[in-house]
């Protein structure tokens, strides 16, 4: 028997050679490229979150959280809550009603309205700020919490409306038909059948809107920035201090001590927003499970 | 039986019951009308706010538009103290920083979309997907602060010298400057902001590519990459372009993070490592402290330009997306 002759290999026709080997290699390179991109994005998130936590945690203390400027962010925290709360009070009803209009009455008007909401979603927030400045601040000739909340509300509306629309569409038509068959009028069936079963989704959309509005900075720079936040102020007709504005101001000042405080404020803000996002996600998963047939 | 049903009453019902039924009917008719009216009003407010915003901004920009005309777009001097304004530098900075952000970000984001839709095991996808979306939840002011304190020095010490040494023959990669505040750093920050948007939309697009077409390609012997190149990408291409345009729109309009890292430069430089400024960042920087009426009007003019560019890219994206499939284009 000749030693040079290769042993019989039953899998030989299945082993890639030549061109196929190259194609497979290309495929493998592409796959690892895609995987690397995903790793990169997660790493980016990890790096940013890690730096905020590492640098910000040292600034945290009870005095920092409750005290006034320049040492603490208490008034700014209260101000942000006030602004976001007022914005929610404006945006939630409008957003939900727009969504009801789109799903229940829409007709031919639905397309342009949906387009407007999409445009609003991609609207630069600085433009919203400039618009509200022209609309409210200039006539009143002073910055105010109201102006800032209206701007935040304008940013929230599209988030709430699109989220609510999505979940209203998930409400099975059979429920609407059942209500119709019982002779229930349209408005009653919307208020007592459709809306209650969409509650979870509406809550999710609202939380996402709140998370988006809480971190929004550009409008606040224009509309509610001339209050240093020494003490708590809740007057809606004056500028109120707020967390994003505080971080922005401290970051422009280039003072190392201010940087520490900015990290601390950033930590608080990021923690609140991440919590809200995680909460919204859990809520969404729960209401999806409930809605599933 | 409950009395809730307003179905036809038996013939024998008395006049009282009839009256109750009639009242109820008219009340319901009123209720239907009222609900419709309220919802329509809300929709009108939302659409009206959009239209009003465009009107107000252009209206307030009128003095500057009258004085500088369209030359404002190309004029490169911005001297508030002398009443001379031109947005050339800002327009250049806006377009260049966003363009480079898209150039770096779109391929990464589309790869992430491919990974999440086609490669990742189910468990991994459930974890990575929300993490990528979380990236979009980081407030721009925090990202910008992180950018100026940590990213900019790193870029200035390591990335810029590397690019200058190896690709210095391209005029874009000039010598690094003393601080890391530059158009390049701004592009990197914008890249981080744009990736999650483009990635999550393109993931949904790829997931919607029919399974059997992909299986068909595999059955013919195509490798995974060939399936992607031959079937998945061509099918989803219009949607991916739309997603990239949406991401671009986001980058064009970002004010805060950019104003923190771009360094508020006043000149057009070929090198990306020099400072610059964008329309949005200039507004955020100077609007609260505008010194004259013309200064403010010029900032309104900048806002109007930004609005026009942003609207164009957004509407373009919607148009392409709708032609492809409007139901899948929910932007979030």
Q: pLDDT tens, A27-84? A: 999 999 999 999 999 999 999 999 999 999 888 888 888 887 778 888 999 999 999 9
Q: What is the pLDDT of residue A292?
A: 62
Contact list in B for residue A129 (CB cut-off 8 A) is 287
C-beta separation of B245 from B320 below 8 A: yes
In sequence order, which residues have a C-beta less than 8 Å from that of residue A233 and are 6 or more positions away? A75, A79, A227, A240, A241
The CA distance from A132 to the nearest CA of chain B, in Å, is 8
Q: Is the pLDDT of residue B4 over 60?
A: no
The two three-digit tokens of residue A217, written as one number = 């900075």
In sequence order, which residues have a C-beta less than 8 Å from that of residue B54 and are 6 or more positions away? B307
Contact list in A for residue B249 (CB cut-off 8 A) is 122, 124
Give the integer Cα–Cα distance in Å for A73 and A230: 9
Closest residue in A to B32 (Cα) is: A187
Q: What is the pLDDT of residue B292?
A: 87
Q: Check CB contact of B174 with chain A, cutoff 8 Å.
A: no
Residue B326's pLDDT band (boundaries 50, 70, 90)? very low
Give the integer Cα–Cα distance in Å for B264 and B299: 15
Helix, strand, coil content of chain B in percent (nearest 5): 75, 0, 25
Q: Is the backbone peptide bond immediately before A82 cis, with ω within 30 degrees of 0?
A: no
Closest residue in B to A135 (Cα) is: B56
Identify which of B116, B314, B330 has the shortest CB distance to residue A38.
B116
Q: To 10 degrees, the CA torsion angle through B136, B138, B143, B145?
A: 160
B56 and A131 in contact by Cβ < 8 A?
yes
Summary mean pLDDT of chain A: 88
In terms of C-beta density within 10 A (0-12 exposed, 13-18 middle, 19 or more buried), how is residue A107 classed?
Answer: exposed
Q: Is the pLDDT of residue B3 over 60?
A: no
Q: Residue ranges of the domains in chain B?
A: 70-329
Q: What is the pLDDT of residue B9?
A: 55
**ipTM at complex level:** 0.88
Mean pLDDT along residues B46-59: 93
Q: Is the pLDDT of residue A14 over 80?
A: no
The two three-digit tokens of residue A92, written as one number = 């939630």
Give the integer Cα–Cα distance in Å for A167 and A100: 11
Q: Which residue has the tokens 């809605």?
A: A291
Is pTM beyond 0.95 here?
no
The CA distance from A8 to the nearest CA of chain B, in Å, is 26
Give the integer Cα–Cα distance in Å for A230 and A232: 7
Beta bridge partners of B79: B84
Mean pLDDT along residues A275-282: 90
Q: Is the pLDDT of residue A8 over 70?
A: yes
B135 and A44 in contact by Cβ < 8 A?
yes
Fold of B70-329: MetI-like fold (1.10.3720)
Instruction: State whether the Cα torsion A19-A24-A29-A31 is positive or negative.
Output: positive
Q: What is the pLDDT of residue B5?
A: 47
Q: Check CB contact of B106 with chain A, cutoff 8 Å.
A: no
The two three-digit tokens of residue B117, written as one number = 């839709």
Q: Which residue has the tokens 């986001």?
A: B250
C-beta separation of B331 from A117 below 8 A: no
Whole-angstrom CA distances from A201 to A44, A171, A197, B38, B63 are 30, 11, 9, 21, 46
A251 and B145 in contact by Cβ < 8 A?
yes
Q: What is the pLDDT of residue B332?
A: 34
Q: Is the pLDDT of residue B141 over 90?
A: yes
In sequence order, which residues have a C-beta less than 8 Å from that of residue B318 and are 6 or more positions away? A115, A118, A119, B242, B329
> What is the percent of chain A with per-residue pLDDT over 70, rounded to a whole number?
95
pLDDT tens-place string over residues A82-126: 999 999 999 999 999 999 999 988 778 888 899 899 889 888 999
The CA distance from B15 to the nearest CA of chain A, in Å, is 21
Annotate B24-77 with DSSP letters as a single string: HHHHHHHHHHHHHHHHHHHHHHHHHHHHHHHHHHHHHHHHHHHHHGGGGGT---
C-beta separation of A209 from A278 below 8 A: no
In sequence order, which residues have a C-beta less than 8 Å from that of residue B317 and are 6 or more positions away? A122, B241, B242, B243, B245, B246, B249
Instruction: State whether the Cα torsion B129-B132-B133-B137 is positive or negative.
Output: positive
Best mutation target, B2, B40, B145, to test chain A (most A CBs within 10 A): B145
Contact list in A for residue B179 (CB cut-off 8 A) is none
């Amino acid at each position: 028997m000749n030693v040079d002759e290769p042993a019989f290999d039953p899998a030989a026709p299945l082993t890639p050679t030549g061109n196929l080997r190259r194609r497979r290699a290309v495929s493998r390179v592409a796959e690892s490229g895609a995987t690397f991109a995903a790793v990169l994005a997660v790493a980016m998130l990890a790096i940013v979150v890690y730096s905020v936590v590492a640098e910000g945690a040292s600034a945290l203390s009870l005095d920092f959280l409750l005290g006034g400027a320049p040492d603490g962010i208490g008034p700014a925290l209260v101000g942000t809550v006030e602004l976001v709360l007022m914005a929610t009070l404006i945006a939630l009803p409008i957003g939900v009603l727009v969504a009801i209009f789109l799903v229940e009455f829409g007709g031919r008007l639905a397309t342009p309205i949906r387009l407007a909401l999409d445009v609003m979603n991609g609207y630069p927030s600085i433009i919203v700020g400039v618009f509200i400045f022209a609309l409210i601040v200039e006539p009143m000739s002073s910055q105010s919490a109201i102006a800032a909340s209206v701007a935040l509300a304008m940013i929230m509306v599209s988030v709430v409306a699109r989220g609510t629309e999505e979940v209203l569409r998930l409400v099975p038509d059979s429920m609407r038909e059942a209500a119709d068959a019982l002779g229930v009028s349209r408005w009653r069936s919307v208020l007592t059948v459709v809306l209650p079963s969409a509650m979870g989704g509406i809550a999710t959309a609202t939380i996402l809107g709140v998370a988006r509005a809480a971190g929004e900075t550009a409008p606040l720079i224009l509309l509610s920035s001339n209050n240093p936040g020494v003490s708590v102020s809740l007057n809606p007709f004056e500028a109120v201090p707020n967390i994003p504005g505080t971080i922005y101001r401290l970051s422009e000042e280039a003072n190392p001590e201010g940087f520490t405080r900015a990290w601390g404020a950033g930590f608080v803000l990021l923690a609140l927003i991440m919590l809200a996002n995680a909460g919204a996600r859990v809520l969404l998963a729960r209401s999806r499970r409930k809605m599933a047939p | 039986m409950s009395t809730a049903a307003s179905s036809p009453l038996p013939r024998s019902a008395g006049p009282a019951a009839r009256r109750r039924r009639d009242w109820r009917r008219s009340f319901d008719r009123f209720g239907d009308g009222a609900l419709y009216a309220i919802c329509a009003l809300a929709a009108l407010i939302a659409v009206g706010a959009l239209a009003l915003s465009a009107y107000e901004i252009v209206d307030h920009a009128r003095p500057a538009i009258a004085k500088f005309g369209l030359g404002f777009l190309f004029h490169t001097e911005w001297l508030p103290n002398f009443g001379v304004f031109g947005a050339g530098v800002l327009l250049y900075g806006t377009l260049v920083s966003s363009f480079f952000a898209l150039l770096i970000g779109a391929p990464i984001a589309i790869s992430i979309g491919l990974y999440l839709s086609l490669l990742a095991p189910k468990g991994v996808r459930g974890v990575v997907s929300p993490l990528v979306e979380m990236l979009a939840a980081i407030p721009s002011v925090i990202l910008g602060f992180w950018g100026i304190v940590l990213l900019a020095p790193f870029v200035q010490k390591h990335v810029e010298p590397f690019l200058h040494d190896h690709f210095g023959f391209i005029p874009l990669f000039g010598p690094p400057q003393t601080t890391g505040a530059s158009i390049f750093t701004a592009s990197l920050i914008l890249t981080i902001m744009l990736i999650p948007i483009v990635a999550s939309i393109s993931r949904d697009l790829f997931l919607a590519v029919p399974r059997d077409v992909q299986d068909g390609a595999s059955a013919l012997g195509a490798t995974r990459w060939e399936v992607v190149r031959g079937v998945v990408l061509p099918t989803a291409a219009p949607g991916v372009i739309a997603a990239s345009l949406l991401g671009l729109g986001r980058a064009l309009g970002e004010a805060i993070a950019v104003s923190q890292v771009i360094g508020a430069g006043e000149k057009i430089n070929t090198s990306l490592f020099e400072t610059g400024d964008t329309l949005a960042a200039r507004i955020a920087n100077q609007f609260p402290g505008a010194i004259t009426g013309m200064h403010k009007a010029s900032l309104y003019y900048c806002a109007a330009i930004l609005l026009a560019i942003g609207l164009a890219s957004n509407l373009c994206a919607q148009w392409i997306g709708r032609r492809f499939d409007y139901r899948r284009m929910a932007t979030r």
